[in-house]
């Protein structure tokens, strides 16, 4: 009898819940879907315009896994861009749903991907969302959003880093009590946050998705890979050989397009890099592209150095450089020969000069101002010539041209003999 009463009670509760859900979904179906602008007004008061104190230079996973820089320690439950049927039917999934891989702890804490400041906490349980504003070294902004948190332990306006606990995930039991699959983190990466969070459930087109959001899983996959390669870098011996080779060119005449061959006795800024590479690799200088928008994405000359990928002059930290790093100087003056390499403060910028970092704050480059190869202060040259920032790349092990071409290497021109008198 007790079992029958329990079954009857369960059936009544199921019927009641189903009736409520049907009424709710019927109400949505019968009404026009709310616009992003209408929904945004509900949460504008939850936003605080706060400037992050520190730049976001290093990125980590949002859980305290055994290694927060190993993507394999988390599992994706739902992918970015998938169509959703919840709330506003047909909206696109603006993030990735993630959980730590393996057996979950009783309480799974959630942490920021990088340093920043809490700019919004909105929505009620089980959808409570913490949004962090990040200041990139380029001067651009990026926002990370953490949804389905409970026991939120931060407040709006608070400065955070990767060790600051934001809150925790719901347990499976708690998620069942809330009536949905909420025992995961809905992680978003946003290019902008002028919708105050409403775009999370009102983004209906792929164009709108790409305008506002970045696939967080793909972002982490690339960032963590680049950070690992940059941490490895060149061996000390290889870096020393590159710098020593570049120093062989000191005093050589600057000549645009110069490669020290035939009647051409001069060399240009890219030639300095290629000359040094020929001394540590079997590949000749013709193996490498002269277009930074080709060589940087293809990683011929290494991966972008975290924190200098790119960095504005205001956020330039020379201590992040190592000898052998390739330095690309940036300016907002358009180069009609190729597209912009990136942005600084949301302005497109182009590469206008390159050189090799020698260590101790100095670099070696074919100076178009003095007309010869020089070793001098990197920041001093940047300030004197009005460049707006840098993009640095670092090779892990050595250069990796798409096709290695072997040919006669560049040779130093004969130096005039000193007068015997």
The SS3 assignment for 64 reads coil
Average of per-residue pLDDT across 217-235: 97
**pLDDT given at position 349:** 98
CATH assignment at residue 322: 3.90.1720.10
Whether the predicted pLDDT of 398 surpasses 90: yes
Where in the sequence is the domain holding 386, given as residue range(s)?
233-394
- Picking from 224, 249, 265, the residue at the C-terminal end of a domain is 224
**Structural domain includes residue 406:** no
In a shared domain, residues 211 and 244: no
In a shared domain, residues 299 and 170: no
Q: What is the pLDDT of residues 240-261, one digit of tens each?
A: 999 999 999 999 999 999 999 8
- Picking from 195, 224, 253, the residue at the C-terminal end of a domain is 224
Phi, psi dihedral angles at 409 (to 5 degrees): -75, 165
In a shared domain, residues 81 and 178: yes
Phi, psi dihedral angles at 267 (to 5 degrees): -150, 150
Mapped to the 3 state alphabet, what secondary structure does 109-141 carry? EECCCCCEEEEEEECCCCCCEEEEEEECCCCCE
Euclidean distance between the first and the last CA atom of the chain, given in angstroms as a whole number: 121
**Structural domain includes residue 2:** no
In a shared domain, residues 108 and 242: no
**Structural domain includes residue 268:** yes
369-376 own/partner pairs: CB under 8 Å, 24+ apart: 370/254, 371/253, 371/254, 372/250, 372/251, 372/252, 372/253, 372/254, 373/246, 373/249, 373/250, 373/251, 373/252, 373/254, 373/267, 373/272, 374/250, 375/247, 375/250
How does residue 416 score in pLDDT terms, banded at 50, 70 and 90?
A: low
**pLDDT given at position 6:** 35
Cβ contacts of residue 172 below 8 Å, gap of 6+?
A: 183
CATH assignment at residue 57: 2.70.70.10
Q: What is the pLDDT of residues 320-340, one digit of tens each?
A: 999 999 999 999 999 999 999
Q: Is the dihedral of CA 301, 304, 305, 311 positive or negative?
A: positive
d(CA 368, CA 391) in angstroms, rounded, equals 19
**Structural domain includes residue 344:** yes
Q: Helix 269-278 crosses helix 236-247 at what angle (to 10 degrees)?
A: 130
Strand partners, 118: 132
**Structural domain includes residue 244:** yes
Q: What is the pLDDT of residues 152-169, one digit of tens each?
A: 999 999 999 999 999 999
In a shared domain, residues 51 and 195: yes
How does residue 263 score in pLDDT terms, banded at 50, 70 and 90?
A: confident
Whether the predicted pLDDT of 212 surpasses 50: yes
For residue 143, give Cα distances in angstroms to 46, 93, 95: 15, 16, 12
R_g (Cα) of the chain, nearest Å: 27
d(CA 320, CA 33) in angstroms, rounded, equals 49
In a shared domain, residues 201 and 218: yes
**pLDDT given at position 417:** 62
Average of per-residue pLDDT across 42-52: 93
In a shared domain, residues 53 and 124: yes
**Structural domain includes residue 420:** no
Q: Which two tokens stand for residue 317?
A: 């930290």
- Quote the number of domains for the chain: 2
In a shared domain, residues 60 and 159: yes
In a shared domain, residues 72 and 210: yes
Strand partners, 283: none
d(CA 61, CA 58) in angstroms, rounded, equals 11
Question: Residue 378: CA atoms inside 13 Å, Cβ hemisphere, count?
Answer: 31
**pLDDT given at position 12:** 33
In a shared domain, residues 274 and 160: no
Annotate 303-325 with DSSP letters as a single string.
EEPTT-SSEEGGG--GGG--TT-
Strand partners, 372: 253, 367
- Picking from 224, 252, 272, the residue at the C-terminal end of a domain is 224
Of 365, 328, 376, the closest CA to residue 349 belongs to: 328
Strand partners, 347: 344
Of 82, 84, 88, the closest CA to residue 38 belongs to: 88
**pLDDT given at position 3:** 36
Residue 161 burial (C-beta neighbours within 10 Å; 0-12, 13-18, 19+) = middle
In a shared domain, residues 57 and 205: yes
Lowest-confidence region among 185-194, 270-279, 407-416:
407-416
**Structural domain includes residue 250:** yes
How does residue 262 score in pLDDT terms, banded at 50, 70 and 90?
A: confident
**Structural domain includes residue 328:** yes
| Count of C-beta atoms within a 10 Å radius of residue 334 | 12
Say which DSSP state 92 is in.
B
In a shared domain, residues 75 and 210: yes
Q: For all residues of the chain together, what is the average pLDDT?
A: 90
Lowest-confidence region among 93-107, 173-187, 313-327, 368-382:
93-107
């Amino acid at each position: 009898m007790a079992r029958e009463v329990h079954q009857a009670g369960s059936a009544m509760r199921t019927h009641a819940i189903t009736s409520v859900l049907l009424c709710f979904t019927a109400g949505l179906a019968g009404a026009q879907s709310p616009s992003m602008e209408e929904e945004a007004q509900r949460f504008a008061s939850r936003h605080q315009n706060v400037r992050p104190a520190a730049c976001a230079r290093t990125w980590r996973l949002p859980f305290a896994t055994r290694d927060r820089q190993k993507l394999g320690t988390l599992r994706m439950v739902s992918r970015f861009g998938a169509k959703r049927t919840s709330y506003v039917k047909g909206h696109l999934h603006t993030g990735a749903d993630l959980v730590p891989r393996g057996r979950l702890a009783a309480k799974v804490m959630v942490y920021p991907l990088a340093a920043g400041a809490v700019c919004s906490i909105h929505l009620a349980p089980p959808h409570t969302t913490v949004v962090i504003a990040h200041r990139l070294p380029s001067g651009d902004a990026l926002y990370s959003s953490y949804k389905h948190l409970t026991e939120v332990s931060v407040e709006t306006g608070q400065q955070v880093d990767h060790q600051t606990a934001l809150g925790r995930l719901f347990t499976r039991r708690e998620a069942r009590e809330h009536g949905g699959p909420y025992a995961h983190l809905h992680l978003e990466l946003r290019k902008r946050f002028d919708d105050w969070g409403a775009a999370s459930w009102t983004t209906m087109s792929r164009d709108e998705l790409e305008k506002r959001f970045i696939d967080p899983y793909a972002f982490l996959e690339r960032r963590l890979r680049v950070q690992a390669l940059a941490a490895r870098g060149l061996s000390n011996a290889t870096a020393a050989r590159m710098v020593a080779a570049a120093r062989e060119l000191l005093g050589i005449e600057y000549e645009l397009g110069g490669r020290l061959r035939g009647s051409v006795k001069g060399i240009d800024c890219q030639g300095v890099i290629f000359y040094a590479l020929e001394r540590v690799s079997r590949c000749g200088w013709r193996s490498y592209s002269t277009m930074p928008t080709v060589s940087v994405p293809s990683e011929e000359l290494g991966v972008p150095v975290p924190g200098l990928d790119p960095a504005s002059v205001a956020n330039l930290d020379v201590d992040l450089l190592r000898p052998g790093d390739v330095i690309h100087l940036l300016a907002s003056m358009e180069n009609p020969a190729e597209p912009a390499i990136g942005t600084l403060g949301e302005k497109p910028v182009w590469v206008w000069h390159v050189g090799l970092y020698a260590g101790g704050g100095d670099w070696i480059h074919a100076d178009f101002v003095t007309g010869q190869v020089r070793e001098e202060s990197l920041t001093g040259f940047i300030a004197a010539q009005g460049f707006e920032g840098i993009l640095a790349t670092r090779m892990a092990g050595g250069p990796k041209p798409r096709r290695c071409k072997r040919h006669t290497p560049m040779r130093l021109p004969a130096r005039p003999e000193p007068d015997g008198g």
